Chain A
Amino acid sequence: MSVQTKKQTTDNPKIIGRLLLVVVAMFGFGFALVPLYDVFCDVTGLNGKTGDKVNFETAPTVDESRLVKITFLASLNESMPWEFKPQQNFIEVHPGKPTTINYIAKNISSKSIVGNAVPSVSPGLAAAYFQKTECFCFTQQELKAGEEKIMPVTFIVDSELSDEINEIALSYTFFISKQNNEDLADNNLTAKSINTFK
């Protein structure tokens, strides 16, 4: 044993300490991946994530020579008791020109529900060039029982958009907001309660 003790360059507590530090750091790294992932997607536009509200100080130049077709999609998370669709299925726009279109949402349940819409743009690489100046997805939307509401989106397709992309699909999915999960649990409306029911 004595030979080994002399040979030791680092004693056990030091090794344990250092390795535990790595353990804590890697545990933190797991959580750090969450914001890193968002930053990565924002920067690269991967994953079809669109950015937050864009404010133009000067009107962007309109590229009259080009038309881009925007297709509108609407879907509901499975347990969402709403009706939700775009007023028109597609529109052709010149890049740089602000355009407003409407979605229509209707609450067909007997309760007031807060929902939030999550946008997604496909192809993912176009996401960074699809800029929304006004959108119902920026805030939570509340619909009372039976209420119908027109939900406008104003957007500009950046004229820097690659020539290879001539069609963009914009999709919204409405989710039941976590804000009202509690009240709705009794109503078998939330995903969790539906699962329990099954």
Chain B
Amino acid sequence: MNAVVEEHHDHDHKPTGIGRWLFSTNHKDIGSMYLWFAFTMFFIGGALALLIRAELFQPGMQIVEPEFFNQLTTLHGLIMVFGVIMPAFVGLANWQLPMMIGAPDMALPRMNNWSFWLLPGAFGLLLASLVMSLMGLGSAPNFGWTFYAPLSTTYGPDSTDYFIFSVHLMGISSVMGAINVIATIMNLRAPGMTYMKMPIFVWTWFITAYLLIAVMPVLAGVVTMMLTDRNFGTSFFDAAGGGDPVMFQHVFWFFGHPEVYIMILPAFGIISSIVPTFSRKPLFGYSSMVYATASIAFLSFIVWAHHMFTTGMPVAGELFFMYSTMLIAIPTGVKVFNWISTMWRGALTFETPMLFAIAFIFLFTMGGFTGLMLCIAPADFQYHDTYFVVAHFHYVLVTGAAFSIMAAVYFWLPKWTGNMYDEKLGKLHFWLTCISANVLFFPMHFIGLAGMPRRIPDYALQFAEFNQIASVGAFVFGFSQLIFLYVVIKCVRGGEKATDKVWEGAHGLEFDLPSPAPFHSYTTPPVVK
């Protein structure tokens, strides 16, 4: 098998120069571009977060104006959600899916190129509004990443139209990426690889792609309504014209809740690949993992109004959304128990990817528990729009989704580059990141429960200590990521050669390919028994 691939390796027609990237139809090159794009955005979004934390280091106004603070929180959220987590997962899908299912490339390589190259345009527009704001030419979007009407319609700054077009482009990009993933998985699996033999990462991405196709158009719809409300005299969300601003929240969260699972299901797939490798045991409960992923995806469509308990819903509605939200804990619990059972009595070793995976399991579960607290409708009236919510979603998105992406990069980087990363620095990065993330986000639970609202530049004196601790954690966390950048660059440039299998306990078709993986993956499909 390897011989065949290596023989072909010599005939790679790797384009050269800038054209290799601009016109790329290669899943690995496009995957790398997605990942580097996400990495760049991670530092931009992170810089905004550090400004926020610097302002919140002390009560009172310190560094930025309140108006600019609102722009910071908005852009931080938008960049991290749409510019970091989502593109990073698409990048991982691009790299891994063809290798994992024994395909030569993605099914629709030209569309793949287009879906990536829309992103720099989209974020160019969004960031242009920030640059203009810094130059004193009006405000960047300042209504929070959830862009509730009427803040974004009646009161939105002129740059809102940049934002709308940018979201349209991101949506088109995501939808094309999702179509590509589905076509690849349906058509290019190696002979013998039935659906129930696919690696879990492939399964989670398969389901995520359907979620994307179902909800990204709804997001496009809601921003289109905003566009016409703002510029063409419609009144979808304007009570004066017979519209309803609360409806904005319904339509937005109909997109928004499945969106949070779009950002976590691929993470589940990554953890399900890493934990068995370093436990040297097969994944416990494979089929229950698949069904759990599918149930989470289904439930994500009927829980959206738990974001809106305080909008004056009738009790029946609150109870429905409360109970349906609680149901999600069951399939999620199945997953967590499966991961723990996989580790149970395994021959565990703790390389960097495994460390991140174990931290993910523990910290994501904590984020899940605060989610359960928030879904209790009467309690949510206390927690709503406080730092408790901020703590909750940063536990699931930073120590959850972002940790899984870091784990995945450490796990597959040797396969991608052919070189081992620096394990010592990797571990240093892990411990700094893991500890500082908790220093950063854990105190937010307390200040939230004590009543500090989110998205404000100033706060009451009694919240000062916890905010200072969080700010210190934030700066350590932020600068620790420079180690990550250094480790990745160092690994790309060289290092100890990785074996084809990379990890002793590794399984899967991608580890049958040589390291570094050849430009075209499986030109002859392997046979899966």
Residues of A within 8 A of B (CB): 1, 3-4, 7-12, 15-16, 19-20, 22-31, 33-34, 37-38, 44, 46-48, 77, 116, 118, 124-125, 173, 175-178, 191-192, 195
Residues on A with C-beta less than 8 A from B17 are none
In Å, the complex CA distance between A30 and B240 comes to 22
Q: A3-B525, A46-B317, A191-B154 are in contact. Are A33 and B254 (CB under 8 A)?
A: yes
* B306-324 interface (Cβ within 8 A of A): 312-314, 317
Partner of B108, one of A10, A16, A27, A178: A16
The reply to whether A26 and B215 form a contact with Cβ atoms under 8 Å apart is yes
Interface centre among A7, A20, A38, A173 (most CB of B within 10 A): A7
* Complex contact B314–A125 (CB within 8 A): yes
10 closest cross-chain pairs (CB), A and B: A30-B221, A175-B240, A27-B217, A26-B217, A30-B218, A15-B183, A19-B179, A191-B154, A178-B241, A23-B217
Whether a CB of chain A sits under 8 angstroms from the CB of B92 is no
Expressed in whole angstroms, the Cα–Cα distance for A46 and B312 within the complex equals 9
Are A15 and B182 in contact, CB atoms less than 8 angstroms apart? yes
Please give the distance in Å from A165's CB to the nearest CB on chain B. Answer: 13
Contacts of B103 in A (CB 8 A): 4
Q: Report the minimal beta-carbon distance from B211 to chain A, rounded to whole angstroms.
A: 11
* Cβ distance B207 to chain A, nearest Cβ, rounded Å: 14
Chain B contributes a number of interface residues (CB within 8 A of A) equal to 52
Residues of B within 8 A of A176 (CB): 240
Q: Are A1 and B214 in contact (CB under 8 A)?
A: no
Name A's interface SS.
helix
* Chain A residues in 8 Å Cβ range of B222: 30
In the bound complex, do residue A26 and residue B240 qualify as a contact, i.e. CB atoms below 8 Å apart? no
| In the complex, chain B residues whose CB is within 8 Å of the CB of A4 | 103, 187-188, 190-191, 525
Decide yes or no whether B225 CB sits under 8 A from chain A. yes
Q: How far is the CB of A171 from chain B (nearest CB, A)?
A: 12
Q: Give residues 219-264 of B contacting A (CB, 8 Å).
A: 219-222, 225, 233, 235-236, 238-242, 244, 246-247, 250-251, 254-255
Does B328 count as interface, using CB distance less than 8 angstroms?
no
Q: Which residues of A contact B107 (CB under 8 A)?
A: 12
A14 to chain B, nearest CB (A): 10
CB contact between B213 and one of A7, A23, A178, A191 (< 8 Å): that residue: A23
**For the complex, what is the distance from the CA of A131 to the CA of B301, rounded to whole Å?**
35
A26 touches B238 (CB 8 A): no
Question: Of A10, A30, A37, A177, which is within 8 A of B244 by CB?
Answer: A37
- B351-373 interface mask toward A, CB cutoff 8 Å, 1 = contact, 0 = none? 00000000000000000000000
Tell whether B186 is near chain A: CB-to-CB under 8 Å: yes
B155–A3 contact, CB under 8 A? no
Q: Can you list 7 A-B contacts with CB-CB less than 8 angstroms, sorted by A residue number?
A: A4-B103, A7-B191, A26-B217, A26-B218, A30-B222, A33-B250, A44-B314
**Which residue of chain B has its CB nearest to the CB of A31?**
B221
Whole-angstrom CA separation of A10 from B182 in the bound complex: 12
Nearest chain A residue, comparing its CB with the CB of B150: A191
Say how far B243's CB is from chain A's closest CB, in angstroms: 8
Instruction: Write the B167-195 contact mask toward A (1 if CB under 8 angstroms, else 0).
Output: 00000000100110011001111110000
Most chain A beta carbons < 10 A, residue from B154, B178, B255: B154
Contacts of B104 in A (CB 8 A): 1
Q: Taking CB as reference atom, which chain B residue is nearest A19?
A: B179
In the bound assembly, the distance between CA atoms of A4 and B214 in angstroms comes to 28
